[in-house]
Structure 1
Amino acid sequence: MTAMRADQKELVERYLRGETDVVPPRDAASIVLLRDGAAGPEVYLLRRRPTMAFAAGMHVYPGGSVDPRDREAAAHWAGPPPAAWAAAFSCDTELATELVAAAVRETFEESGVLLAARADGTPVTDTTGEDWERDRLALIAGELALADFLEARGLVLRADLLRAWAHWITPEWQTRRFDTRFFLAALPAGQRTRDVGGEADRVAWLPVAEAFEGFRDGSLTMMNATAATLRDLTAHPDVASAMAAPRRIRPILGRPVLTDGRLDYLYDGDDGPVGLAELVEPLGARPSGG
């Protein structure tokens, strides 16, 4: 369970009494960026600044809300078509296009890593030049749409570098809510992450097992969705294994339970409701709810 501030406790209590107008969640996408390390897969995590309105102080993956213009990236696309992603995430093809494009755009904005290639198939490598930085900042500011960025540079979005992984929805009592689809992607050869996003006060590559243990011992604060993703990744010895793993993706929405000022969540599992402990316990120890 998690101790709550007084204002959070009041919000949860009002929700449980049926006094809250539930805020519709915004569609969002996030990429779990991976690379192979000496101790197994490593994951790229950003710690959001304590002043951020959502998930302040939390360790997260690159990601953010869908921009309606993201759908225009379908004209600059390589790899599985939007229909394949729509089937994976149980949504329509327009939203699937936006989700894939948003994941690629947000990852470039927040890490400097671009999952794209030139029209002849040559992958993008170094993105550290001043011209790349100007475009990255223009994307963040909304002055440049992803499709226009790709077209101007003669690039295509590499949907084939992504892997659909999970679907989490922010609990209904919260005032800022996101309907987030999570993807996996391996760090492309020749590229490197950079601390460029502005929303984070720390970025790091950590072994997946170490990051998950940090959640369990309280040294790394993160949302349940982030922790559950790490938990699932601990089953894989390398990035290729994770990228090839079969996944059954369904929306996961936690129902709050408040006990003596402490918060826990129940999730719908295959055999009925399970708590957070069951959801993020290491694989093989308990049944998983997600």
Structure 2
Amino acid sequence: MSESAGKMRHGAEKTAKAVGATAAGAAEGRRVQSIREPLSPGAYVEYSVDDQPGVVERARAFLAGAPGEPVAPRMAATVMLVSEGKPHYRRFESPLAGGAPIEETVDAAPVDVFMLRRASTMAFTPDAVVFPGGGMDVRDVECAVPWAGPSPEQWACLMSCPVSVAKGVITAAAREVFEESGVLLASAPDGGAPVDEREDHWAAEREAVATRRVSFGEFLRERGLVLRSDLMRLRSHWVTPESEARRYDTYFFLARLPERQHADGRTSEAVEAAWIAPGEALMRFDAGLLKLVPPTISNLTSIVAATSVDEAWNTPFDGHVRPHPVARACGEVVLGCEVSET
């Protein structure tokens, strides 16, 4: 991510800062965990949203008993596409007035993750740096999808959700990665790699799927391909707090970049795309150079210590995270919850 594109100054209070015990947490004598620590079922996590005034205001109103029912969240899928790290160049503005820019080549990290910076015109998390993903489409659920790997029934058990939702979310995950990066989590029935005959990174097909002229299942059938659900690994599950007007019920997955494929950022929803080491992304966030939202921070944290793509792949499932507004004794409002197994 370029520095000019990401200069989102968060101030001293960042979304991902470690937080002290809340009234609720202290009363129950449990440790309060930060999203800058790997999560696991049973952990109690809290995080500040002081850098998001609108979120704080809505959380306060919710705690005060604001009228109205919470908005039903839309099902969504997000994919952390990972690959072996490569050396890369970066450029920083000098911290000294009038100083020359600082330019350097960063050594390869064990793991890189593909990320996109969302356009400033987007209604949800504008300018944020995110993983490929998006909302589940009705055709992800209803249309037949050629399938290989763990079945929707098996995924439903892993995800603690109905079979139809599991099928739709897995399909949405593969579809969104294809639309936003050109990477196909699919193969021929015999396992053979998909062939991009025009060598234009599936430009016409991606546009047709993205504009809903054809469903992802129809595209796969026309090409004689099958969705490879075994190329994805469940990472975490986050649900937007009930205090928010725009809510998502999002499953996060991890996928290795398939051999002989590459990722780009040709999507109208993003203005920039790059491979970046998880630790580098978090460092730039801390420096105010990238805007990251809490679920992204947490999922990056879960693999930041991985010494290989295999280790990232084998990282345990973080759990189900359903944060809600929490009022501290000091009057501060944060978001928090107990991470659950189901």
1:208-227 alignment runs, 5 A limit: 208-227=278-297
How big is the shift at 1:237? 0.7
Q: Distance in 2 between matches of 1:250 and 1:131?
A: 35
In the alignment, is the contact (CA less than 8 A) between 1:89 and 1:249 conserved in 2? Answer: no
Per the normalisation by structure 2, the TM-score is 0.73
Out of 129, 133, 138, the residue aligned to residue 63 of structure 1 is 133
Out of 251, 254, 268, the residue aligned to residue 184 of structure 1 is 254
Does residue 163 of structure 1 match 2:210? no
What is the one-letter code of the residue matched to 2:65? G
In the alignment, is the contact (CA less than 8 A) between 2:196 and 2:202 conserved in 1? Answer: no
Gapped runs of 5+ residues in structure 1?
271-288
More divergent stretch after superposition (209-218 vs 155-164): 209-218
Instruction: Look up the match of 1:19.
Output: 66
Q: Deviations over 1:43-72 (max 9, x none)?
A: 111111111100111111100111121135
Does residue 36 of structure 1 match 2:84? yes
Gapped runs of 5+ residues in structure 2?
1-47, 86-107
Q: Deviations over 1:252-274 (max 9, x none)?
A: 3243558999763223258xxxx
Does residue 83 of structure 1 match 2:153? yes
Q: Distance in 1 between matches of 2:53 and 2:156?
A: 40
Out of 228, 231, 253, the residue aligned to residue 298 of structure 2 is 228
Q: 1:241 to 1:74 in 2, by over 3 A?
A: farther
Q: Distance in 1 between matches of 2:122 and 2:177?
A: 18
What is the one-letter code of the residue matched to 1:197? T
Q: Deviations over 1:119-163 (max 9, x none)?
A: 332022648745821111111111111111111111100111100
Instruction: Look up the match of 1:243.
Output: 313
What is the one-letter code of the residue matched to 1:13? R
Q: 1:258 to 1:170 in 2, by over 3 A?
A: farther
- Count residues in correspondence: 271
Larger helix percent: 1
Largest Rg, 1 or 2: 2
Q: Distance in 2 between matches of 1:158 and 1:33?
A: 14
Q: Distance in 1 between matches of 2:53 and 2:238?
A: 26
Q: Distance in 1 between matches of 2:205 and 2:184?
A: 12
Q: 1:3 to 1:148 in 2, by over 3 A?
A: same
What is the one-letter code of the residue matched to 1:32? M
What percent identity do the matched residue pairs reach? 37
Q: Deviations over 1:196-235 (max 9, x none)?
A: 1111111111111111222334322111100000111013
